Amino acid sequence: GETIGILGGGQLGRMLAMAAARLGYRVHIFAPERDSIAADVAAQFTCAQWNDATALAAFAADCAVVTYEFENVPVAPLRALGDVALLPNARALEVAQDRLNEKRFVTDLGGRPAPFAAVDTAEDLAQALETIGSPGILKTRRDGYDGKGQWRIMADHDADGVVLTGQPLVYEGFVHFTAEFSVILCRAQDGTIVFWDSAENLHKGGILDRSTVPARADVAGQVPAARELAAKVAAALEYVGVLTLEFFATADGPVFNEMAPRVHNSGHWTIEGALTSQFENHVRAICGLPLGDPALAARGVEMWNLIGDEAHDWAPILSDPRNHLHLYGKAAARPGRKMGHVTRLTL
């Protein structure tokens, strides 16, 4: 069969590789870390740095199409992929890997993020606090995930202790939300878009803890406007594959949080809970195949993450025969590390 190249070696790459294998594709993982849990289930693994042009060119030569499971891949070196299609494209990566870019991009399309300001210097921060006020959150523009690279500023004087390290930041006003939800769509090469049901997402300490489908009615009421924005984003980027937008549900409607140009943790429930999973449809889209039906396969679905140390006693989980246990094969459980997840359908 043809070979799909995946940039990134984590659990998202692993689940993509498993979906690709089921459709008869070979998978080649490219990642900088030696112990890749995606490479464990792939036919081939290139372990090299993101800026290694020679390794990237050799990787591309083996692949019919290249995709990514990690949005922080540096864009410039990807020129080394040459004529092999990168899907979603490099522009999507560029926009979504920078919080400031994505907020501006979404604002231009009519979306509404929390009030935000770029912060590069102490003066910028003072200015941002003056115009936006506290409480708010200072975030690194790049490389953040699972709430890393964020400082909560509950009162203006909290900012006094913040030491700016020179990395570009963005300050955003704190959103008083009633719930969080995500819109996950898949756009095919012919422009067809399908949406999965939106999960209501509960975060703990900045990390996704639990996704529930269907979302409560008051949250679900905000999904149409959020979908409309997500579809605009996908079309404007000529996007191919799965795209995720995270939202806060508020009394004034949906507020955009961030986007991920990839399959998403809040869509893991789709493996058993939808007729076609986010992983399968991503593979179908990048390979130019028709998309599968994203409809719910149950009355309701619950997905919860197994994080850090809670993640070593499987017996109680498996003692309930309705629980689907997913383990990512990570060797060491560190605090805050996603080790696996559990999905449970309500029939």
Rounded to an integer, what distance in angstroms lies between the CA atom of residue 139 and that of residue 100? Answer: 10
Angle of CA points 323, 204, 199, to nearest 5°: 55
Please report how close the Cβ of residue 199 comes to ligand ATP at its closest, in angstroms. Answer: 12
> Is 104 within any annotated ligand binding site?
no
Rounded to 10 deg, the angle between the 278-286 and 11-22 helix axes is 70
Nearer residue to ligand ATP within complex by CB, 84 or 96: 96
Length reported for the chain: 347
**Which residue in the block uniquely carries the two structure tokens 């300490």?**
205
Is residue 172 a contact point for ligand ATP (CB under 6 A)?
A: yes
Maximum alpha-carbon separation in the chain? 60
Question: How many residues sit in the footprint of ligand ATP (CB under 6 A)?
Answer: 17
What DSSP state is assigned to residue 302? E
Sequence-separated (6 or more) residues with CB below 8 Å from residue 19: 277, 279, 280, 282, 283
Nearer residue to ligand ATP within complex by CB, 133 or 292: 133
Binding range to ligand ATP, per CB under 6 A, among 60-68, 173-181, 223-231, 304-312: 173-181
| Residue 158 zone, left/alpha/beta (φ > 0; ψ -120 to 50; rest) | alpha
Q: Which of 180, 197, 280, 302 binds ligand ATP (CB under 6 A)?
A: 180
Nearer residue to Mg ion within complex by CB, 69 or 246: 246
Q: How many CA atoms lie within 13 A of 183 on its CB side?
A: 31
Q: How far is CA 135 from each of CA 87, 173, 179, 249, 256, rounded to the nearest angstrom? A: 38, 6, 18, 18, 18
> Is 111 within any annotated ligand binding site?
no
Residues 123-142 contacting ligand ATP, CB under 6 A: 137, 139
Nearer residue to ligand ATP within complex by CB, 182 or 189: 182
Residues facing residue 50 across a β-bridge: none
Q: Which of 77, 206, 329, 336 binds ligand ATP (CB under 6 A)?
A: 206
Residues 217-246 contacting Mg ion, CB under 5 A: 246
Nearer residue to ligand ATP within complex by CB, 172 or 197: 172
> Is 282 within any annotated ligand binding site?
no
Closest CA to 303 of 215, 179, 176, 218: 215
By DSSP bridging, strand 241-250 and strand 300-307 are unpaired
Is residue 158 a contact point for ligand ATP (CB under 6 A)?
A: no
> Is 257 within any annotated ligand binding site?
yes
Is residue 144 a contact point for ligand ATP (CB under 6 A)?
A: yes
Q: How far is CA 165 from each of CA 92, 138, 156, rounded to the nearest angstrom? A: 27, 13, 19
Nearer residue to Mg ion within complex by CB, 137 or 194: 137
Work out what residue 98 binds among Mg ion, ligand ATP, none; the CB cut-off runs from 5 to 8 Å by kind: none
Q: Is 47 helix (H, G, I), strand (E, B) or coil?
A: strand
Rounded to an integer, what distance in angstroms lies between the CA atom of residue 71 and that of residue 89? Answer: 11
Q: Are 88 and 261 in contact (CB under 8 A)?
A: yes
Q: Which of 151, 174, 195, 314 binds ligand ATP (CB under 6 A)?
A: 174
Nearer residue to ligand ATP within complex by CB, 5 or 136: 136
Is residue 257 a contact point for ligand ATP (CB under 6 A)?
A: yes
Is residue 110 a contact point for ligand ATP (CB under 6 A)?
A: no
DSSP string, 208-260: EEEEEESPPHHHHTTHHHHHHHHHHHHHHTT--EEEEEEEEEETTEEEEEEEE
Give the per-residue contact string, 27-56, with ligand ATP (x = CB under 6 A; - = no). ------------------------------
Binding range to ligand ATP, per CB under 6 A, among 81-89, 145-153, 163-171, 233-241: 145-153
Please report how close the Cβ of residue 46 comes to ligand ATP at its closest, in angstroms. Answer: 25
Q: Which residues bind ligand ATP (CB under 6 A)?
A: 114, 137, 139, 144-148, 172, 174-175, 180, 203, 206, 246, 257-258
The binding site for ATP consists of 99, 139, 144-150, 172-175, 180, 203, 257-258
Give residues in contact with Mg ion (CB under 5 A).
246, 258
